[in-house]
Amino acid sequence: MTEPLLQIEGFAVAANGIPLLRDVAISLGTGERVALTGPSGCGKTTLLRAIAGLIDPVAGSVRLRGQTPETFGWPAFRRRVILVAQRPVLLEGTVCQNLSRPFRYATAKTVFDEPRALDLMAQLLLEPGRMTQEALSLSEGQRQRICLLRALLAEPDVVLLDEPSSALDDAAAEAVDVVVRREARQRGLAALIVSHERGRITESCDRVMDLTSAKGAA
């Protein structure tokens, strides 16, 4: 049996001391896309934040290629398992400066590839001229796609996508779905995609896991 790319076992998360999810087990293979669904407030976002190590889980463990995040070092682990938050966060500066920023970190192993960024921008229905635009002047939907693009350019093993199409129209949501699928097929990118409702992106995933029961084993 091949070792899963990302293994989450016995995970329990809480927010402000209130237990949200428990006994969550997720196994994600290379190139696999798994959708996590559940009602608003059930703990999906908290679960993704805990998997990324931005907060501590109440219980449970995460392993990437069979190794704990401590083995990689937390920054290096997060470089391989990138969380794209629901609210798109961009910093002051141009789109290009935002996209190239993660390549300044000590964990960066590659350099910013602008032609690839422009190619992915086109696939995400963003005009090339956006590259020099002030990032904070973009619309919510454009920001959401730039944030996804920023994560993909870092070439992680896994992306944790929190409601990736919440601010997108149908065409843009379709484009996001196509790009993630292509990255999964071509590069082996695995994706854990959270959504409060079943939609285009969750439907096209390899598996859908409902967190309503707060217990899962996908």
Partner 1 sequence: MEGTGPGAVALSPWQLVLAASLVLIAGGISFALRLGLEKRLALASLRTVVQLLLVGVILRWVFRLEHVLPVLGVVLVMTIIAGRAAVQRSGRTFPGATWRAVVTLVLSAWLTAVLVTGAIIQIEPWYKPQYLIPLLGMILGNALTGISLCLDQVLQSLAGQREQVEMELAHGATRWEAARAPLADAVRRGMIPIINSMMVAGLVSLPGMMTGQILAGEDPFKAVEYQIVVMFMIAAATSLGCMLIAVLVYHRLFNARHQLLSDLITKRQN
> Of the candidates 22, 33, 130, 150, which one interacts with partner 1 according to CB under 8 A?
150
Distance CA 188, CA 211 (A): 25
Query: Taking the complex as a whole, how short is the minimal distance between the CB of residue 136 and partner 1, in angstroms?
Result: 11
Q: How many residues bind partner 1 (CB under 8 A)?
A: 27
What is the DSSP annotation of 180-212?
HHHHHHHH--EEEEEESS--HHHHTSSEEEE-T
- Residue 45 has phi, psi (to 5 degrees) of -65, -40
Name which of residues 38 to 97 contact partner 1 (CB under 8 A).
Answer: 52-56, 74-76, 78-79, 82-85, 87, 89, 91
25 contact partners, CB below 8 Å, separation of at least 6: 8, 9, 10, 11, 216, 217, 218
- Closer by beta carbon to partner 1, 40 or else 104: 104
- 121: exposed, middle or buried (Cβ count in 10 Å: 0-12, 13-18, 19+): buried
Phi, psi of 52 (to 5 degrees): -75, -10
Query: In this complex, which beta carbon is closest to partner 1, that of residue 55 or of residue 122?
Result: 55
Q: How far is the CB of 138 from partner 1 (least distance, A)?
A: 15
Of residues 103-132, those binding partner 1 (CB under 8 A): 104-108
| Residue whose CB is less far from partner 1, 88 or 216 | 88
Residues that bind partner 1 (CB under 8 A): 52-56, 74-76, 78-79, 82-85, 87, 89, 91, 101-102, 104-108, 150-151, 154
